[in-house]
Amino acid sequence: MNKQLSMVIDSSACIDCRACTLACKVENNVPEGKWRNWVKRSEPDFNKPDWMDHRTPLHFQPGGCMHCEVPTCVQACPTGATYKNEKDGAVKVDSKLCIGCGSCIPACPYGARYRHPTRNIVDKCDYCENRRERGELPACVVTCPTKARVFGDINDPKSDAALLLKKNKSVRVINKESDTKPNMYYLSATAPMNWPVKARMPDAIQMWKLAGPLIWGVVGLNALGVLVMLGKQLLMKENAPETDESHEETRQS
Amino acid sequence: MTSTQIHRHTRLSIFMHWFNAGCWIFLLLTGLGLIQNDDLQPFTSWPTMLRSLFGGGANLLLAHEIAGIAWAGGFLLYGIIRLKSDVLPFIREIFTVDIRRDFLWLIAKGIQMTLGYKALSVIADKFGFSPKIPDQGFYNVGQKIFAIPAVFGGMVIAASGIIMILSQTGMASTELVQWAILVHFVTVGLVFAGLLIHIFMASIAAGEQPAFISMFTGSVPEDYARHHHKLWLDEVKKS
């Protein structure tokens, strides 16, 4: 089975220190105002009579690109500049093929992508590819003081991530209208759950899906027409080479 | 057998024609290879093949962009240095249409090409028009009908391509770029559909060999000119 790098997160261990988001920014040179990962927080319900009894009325949820099984961002990219890497299951951006058209940005239900203001391409989490090449874990994972984020290949039964998943119940945060089968698992339960938006294909990409067959149809029809004319020309020549006397066209060649 | 040769194309316009043809073939094939998406690409193995040939999608994109800039730049340069002598007369020629004559030409030529001369005389008899195919100028109206979208389509293709290149410098909004990609694809598709007819008519169709040869030699036999472009020949003879 192919590798599927994933993140298994115990969000109840998250203390919202945001060290992961900072480590990510430093490691990946993420520009000002942009983030490759995040910590979401639940809305405390102060109307609940027992809210004071909980250890904390808030729940923190670390996240980032979920390297989905059904990546709608890949479906939105016209050139394959964003693709699911077959080797490790990570969703990647080929920074030299991407022209920064941004079609993939609204196609992500998690808002995990942004257009880099100076590199003019789309950027997002790549599980710290540079660090992984050196055999190290992603920056957010090693930085986390409570070890809320666990990273590994869930298809390798001996990996920490796979073992955690096997031993515990887990949930995934999805938008029901566009379930992209994310590879980010939260142990037992997590909050908030309702924040992912519906994946939206840009209008131009939707229009392309409609216009594509039409254009191919026109090209095909013309090609067919040319073939018919060619066939007619060849057959006519065979049948009646000399009868068409009134026209020098056929005789000139 | 050997008739007088009439000058039809300058060396530079012959060069531009084959420069255009070469660029089109290269840009069409590489451009098709840049579309890699299950919903948008019917020939799924083409991008894979081409990308391994070029050593990755990034190189393919770069090659396409360099060739595209060379193509557009070449025509821009040509347009500037030959504006008065070639470009404006060409634009005037392709937009000059004699509605009655050219409409009849389209009908008569259409019948002749699909059904043949016999059918043309039968149909002409029945509907009361002359079976003689009307005389045409430097270009026939069929060529003009393709020339107009080819010229303006070329401009749209170049402009949308430039928008995509500007996207890489951060000077175009993402929405504009997304539409530019679609416009680029649609325009290339439509012009290419017409190009198929152009290639057939100019290099395969019976009786058109002198036109094809003239794209190398620059001249056509007088017989050919009289038969295909009589109004133009009359003008050449006058001057």
pLDDT digits (tens, 9 = 90+) for B117-140: 888 999 998 988 888 899 999 999
Residues of chain B found within 8 Å of residue A103, distances taken between Cβ atoms: 174, 178
The model's pLDDT over A43-95, given as tens digits with 9 standing for 90+, comes to 877 777 776 676 667 899 999 999 999 999 999 999 999 999 999 999 999 99
B167 touches chain A (CB under 8 A): yes
Q: In this model, does residue B67 exceed pLDDT 90?
A: yes
**Cα separation values, B71 from B76, B157, B158, B172, Å:** 9, 11, 9, 22
Read off the pLDDT of each residue in B72-98 and give the average, rounded to a whole number: 95
Half-sphere exposure of B211 (CA within 13 A, CB side): 22
Q: What per-residue confidence (pLDDT) applies to B191?
A: 98
Q: Do A219 and B206 touch (CB under 8 A)?
A: no
Sign of CA dihedral B134, B138, B144, B146: positive
pLDDT, mean over chain A: 91
pLDDT digits (tens, 9 = 90+) for A95-125: 999 999 999 999 999 999 999 999 999 999 9
Residue B30 maps to a domain: yes
Residue of B nearest to A99 (CA): B168
Residue B208: predicted pLDDT? 87
Closest partner residue to A223 (CB to CB) among B170, B196, B224 is B196
Q: Identify the band that residue A237 occupies on the pLDDT scale cut at 50, 70 and 90.
A: low
Q: What is the mean pLDDT of residues A143-165?
A: 96
pLDDT, position A251 = 38
- Would you give the DSSP letter of residue A102? -
Number of structural domains found in chain B:
1
Question: Over 90: is that where the pLDDT of A9 sits?
Answer: yes
Alpha helices in B116-204 (DSSP H): 117-127, 141-167, 174-199
CA terminus-to-terminus distance, chain B? 25
Look at residue A252 and tell me whether its pLDDT is greater than 70.
Answer: no
Q: Is A101's CB within 8 Å of B181's CB?
A: yes
Neighbours of A13 (CB within 10 A): 15
A107 inside 8 A of chain B by CB: no
**Do you find a cis peptide bond into A192, omega within 30 degrees of 0?**
yes
Give the model's pLDDT for residue B2.
Answer: 60
pLDDT at A239: 43
Residue numbers of B between 126 and 155 with CB closer than 8 Å to A: none
- Please answer yes or no on whether A94 and B179 come within 8 Å at the CB atom: no
Compute CA B161 distance to the chain's CA centroid, rounded to the nearest angstrom.
19
Decide if A190 contacts A199 (C-beta within 8 A). Answer: no
Helix (H) or strand (E) holding A153: strand A149-153
Quote the pLDDT of residue A54.
66
Is B176 touching A (CB cutoff 8 A)?
A: no
Q: Nearest-CA distance from B221 to chain A in Å?
A: 11
Cα distance between residue B35 and residue B26, in whole Å: 15
Q: Is residue B29 part of a domain?
A: yes
- CA B228 – CA A17 distance, rounded (Å): 82
Chain B residues in contact with A253 (beta carbon < 8 A)? 206-207, 209
Residue B163 domain-assigned?
no
The answer to whether the Cβ–Cβ distance between A80 and B36 falls below 8 Å is yes
Per the structure, the complete domain to which residue B45 belongs is given by: 9-81
The pTM (predicted TM-score) of the whole model is 0.91
The average pLDDT across B211-231 equals: 94
Query: ipTM, 2 decimals?
Result: 0.90
Taking contacts as CB-CB distances below 8 angstroms, the residues of chain A near B207 are 247-250, 252-253
- In a domain, residue B132? The reply is no
Residues 191-250, chain A: which have Cβ within 8 Å of B? 202-205, 207-209, 211-212, 215-216, 218-219, 221-223, 225-226, 229-230, 232-233, 236-237, 244, 246-250
> Closest-CA residue in chain A for B184?
A208
- Residue B175 in any domain: the answer is no
A100/B contact by beta carbon, under 8 A: yes
Across the interface, do A208 and B192 touch by the CB < 8 Å criterion? no
Does a structural domain hold residue B3?
A: no
The overall average pLDDT reported for chain B is 94
B161-206 pLDDT, tens digit each = 999 999 999 888 999 999 999 999 999 999 999 999 999 998 888 8
